[in-house]
Amino acid sequence: RCTLEVFLLENQMKIKILRCSDPLMWYNRHLGEVMHVVRISSDRYWCKEINEYGCLNFVLIKDCEVVNE
């Protein structure tokens, strides 16, 4: 596996989307859902969008909470 893939797998965590501070953000239609993410900065997580394309996008930390399942 490539180094980036290993980093992403080893540093994954789960979040639950609580709100969407900008109604135009992709995760506005995923409130209440749990998803796997990787923290990429002090204010956002990186994750795969839940759609047929699976694009990488970000979720603002202020819009979610970390879950331990």
For the question of whether the overall pTM of this predicted structure is more than 0.85, the answer is: no
Sheet with 64-67, edge to edge strand ranges? 56-60, 44-48, 34-41, 13-17, 64-67
pLDDT digits (tens, 9 = 90+) for 1-55: 666 666 666 778 999 999 999 999 999 999 999 998 988 889 999 987 777 777 7
Q: Which residues pair with 58 in a beta bridge?
A: 46
User: What distance in Å separates the CA atoms of residue 54 and residue 69, rounded to the nearest whole number?
Assistant: 23
